[in-house]
Amino acid sequence: MFNTLDDLDPEQRVLVRLDLNSPVEDGEVQDNRRFDRHAETVRELAEGGHRVVLMAHQGRPGGDDFVSLEQHAAILAEHVGHDVQFVADTFGDEAIDAIESLSAGEILLLENTRMCDEELPEEAPEVKADTEFVQTLAPLFDAYINDAYSAAHRSHASLVGFALELPAYAGRVMQTEYEANSAIATREFDGQVTMVVGGTKATDVIDVMNNLGDKVDRFLLGGIAGELFLRAAGHDVGFDLDGMDFFDDQWEANRETIESLLDERGDQITLAADLAYEDDDERAEIAVSDIDEKDRAYLDVGTETVETYDPVIRDSEAVFVKGALGLFEDERFSAGTVGVLRAISETDCFSVVGGGDTSRAIEMYGMDEEDFGHVSIAGGAYIRALTGAPLAGVEALTQD
Ligand SMILES: Nc1ncnc2c1ncn2[C@@H]1O[C@H](COP(=O)(O)OP(=O)(O)O)[C@@H](O)[C@H]1O
Ligand SMILES: O=C(OP(=O)(O)O)[C@H](O)COP(=O)(O)O
């Protein structure tokens, strides 16, 4: 298996990959569990006398949440309890100067890795290791630490390239999440296993639903993923309106898989019977069977759907959640997500709630993390792990 911080020599110059990818509202980065969890790794390294340089990404190029990591440094500093310096550069002269001026016990966060052209797209570790980005930074360090379990399903330079150039270690978050999610992957359940599938990154979930189908008895759908399934079932939902980019690309990419899932596993899949939308600033609802025009955005599943999903969850022995059923950050559209989470928290089923965004709903609506089996800060990576599929970032750490 991989080396951990227990195997690290003292007083090293360490390059650490975190996943601080967070919701951004009106340009403001929202604090969430990812900061809190990664702060433990960062504090341990700084207090251990290492020189700590951090890398992370935020958003995807072109998106509203593709912003600088300056705010992340300030939020992280609060959680770590130590100053976190920031440099608005990934691997240029400014970044190199800042790295070289660091003293033992100091922490520096580099700029959003995705502002560097070579970070994306996904390529083999050997190709990523050969980039100017990796070749410039690696010689400045003694060790590479990957703590970004939740991004480990992406074969990007900062996640797979450095492990080939430097002695590589897993950080505390990587270690804990890996152990928890691998244990879940091999666990057998006697009763019904249910998976709630929603969120915006439909491609991540739909991709693995086929493989999860033998492990999961019932899929309850909502969010963007749910609308794409409704579209495949012939309803006028699940398409982009002006200024939206949730649906059409993901529809093109997943249409065949969705159609064959509905065909072959239709009896395992439950789709929303009604949806909620905004009307005159209020929440309004409509039965899916009454939708006959492509004229509005749907922001939550409806009340009847919540009433159908609730007893399914209460009858389950295990429930996995990946993605929110609606735009829960707006209370008017939180009923689906909160309904599902509350049902889980009130029963003693084994449960995992995944996703940096989705897991925020737990404290936002006054539920207690203790009432869930495992709250993962990973979304796409955790469901992939449930299928037993390898994660590129973990594999890179385990190479000799
Ligand atoms: N119908 C919808 N319209 C807009 N946003 C939605 C809708 N349904 C779910 N969401 C959003 O999905 C987000 C979570 O999805 P995603 O980013 O895929 O998951 P995570 O980061 O938790 O893995 C939530 O922040 C929620 O606001
Ligand atoms: O937030 C993340 O994944 P998640 O939404 O599946 O939890 C990771 O940071 C990966 O981000 P990406 O899906 O833009 O590659």
Q: How confident is the model at residue 5 (pLDDT cuts 50, 70, 90)?
A: very high
Q: For residue range 70-107, what is the model confidence (pLDDT) as tens digits?
A: 999 999 999 999 999 999 999 999 999 999 999 999 99
Q: Are 336 and 306 in contact (CB under 8 A)?
A: yes
How far is ligand 2, taken at its centre, from the CA of residue 379, in Å? Answer: 7
Ordered DSSP codes for 50-91: -EEEEE---S-TTSTT---SHHHHHHHHHHHTS--EE-S-SS
- Closest-lying ligand 2 atom to the alpha carbon of residue 148: 9
- Closest-lying ligand 2 atom to the alpha carbon of residue 57: 9
Q: Are 87 and 110 in contact (CB under 8 A)?
A: yes
Checking if the pLDDT of 16 tops 70, the result is: yes
Q: Using CA positions, which residue lies closest to atom 10 of ligand 2?
A: 151
Give one word for 205, left, alpha or beta, with left for phi > 0 and alpha for psi -120 to 50. Answer: alpha
Residues facing 29 on adjacent strands: 24
Q: For residue range 331-356, what is the model confidence (pLDDT) as tens digits?
A: 999 999 999 999 999 999 999 999 88
Q: For residue range 40-54, what is the model confidence (pLDDT) as tens digits?
A: 999 999 999 999 999
Give the mean pLDDT of 320-324.
95
For the Cβ of 198 lying below 6 angstroms from any atom of ligand 1, the answer is yes
Checking if the pLDDT of 400 tops 70, the result is: no
| pLDDT score for 97 | 98
| pLDDT score for 299 | 98
Q: Using CA positions, which residue lies closest to atom 22 of ligand 1?
A: 355
Residues facing 28 on adjacent strands: 25
- Ligand 2 contacts (CB < 6 A) are 19, 21, 60, 150-151, 154, 201, 204, 355-356, 378-380
Averaged pLDDT score across all residues of the chain: 96
Ordered DSSP codes for 150-215: GGTTS--IIIIIGGGTS-EEE-HHHHHHHHHHHHHHH---SS-EEEEE-SS-HHHHHHHHHHHTTT
Any known ligand binding at 358?
yes
Within 8 A by CB and 6+ apart from 299, the residues are 276, 277, 278, 326, 327, 330, 332, 333
Q: How confident is the model at residue 393 (pLDDT cuts 50, 70, 90)?
A: very high
Within 8 A by CB and 6+ apart from 372, the residues are 344, 345, 351, 352, 353, 362
Q: How confident is the model at residue 170 (pLDDT cuts 50, 70, 90)?
A: very high
Q: For residue range 224-233, what is the model confidence (pLDDT) as tens digits?
A: 999 999 999 9
For the Cβ of 329 lying below 6 angstroms from any atom of ligand 1, the answer is yes
Q: Using CA positions, which residue lies closest to atom 25 of ligand 1?
A: 357
Give the mean pLDDT of 285-292.
97
Least confident of 144-153, 186-195, 299-308: 186-195
User: Measured between alpha carbons, how far is 161 from 221 in angstroms, rounded to an integer?
Assistant: 36
Q: Cis omega before residue 121 (within 30°)?
A: yes
Residues facing 287 on adjacent strands: 274
ipTM of the complex model: 0.95
Q: Using CA positions, which residue lies closest to atom 15 of ligand 1?
A: 199
Mutate to test the pocket of ligand 1, among 357, 359, 362, 386 (most ligand atoms within 8 A of CB): 357
Give the mean pLDDT of 237-252.
94
| pLDDT score for 214 | 86
| pLDDT score for 213 | 87
Q: Are 268 and 219 in contact (CB under 8 A)?
A: yes
Tokens matching residue 269: 């899949």
Within 8 A by CB and 6+ apart from 222, the residues are 196, 197, 198, 272, 300, 301, 305, 323, 324, 325, 326, 336, 337
Ordered DSSP codes for 5-35: GGGPPSS-EEEEE------EETTEEPP-HHH
User: Measured between alpha carbons, how far is 375 from 360 in angstroms, rounded to an integer?
Assistant: 10
Residue 179 burial by CB count (10 A; 0-12/13-18/19+): exposed, middle or buried? exposed
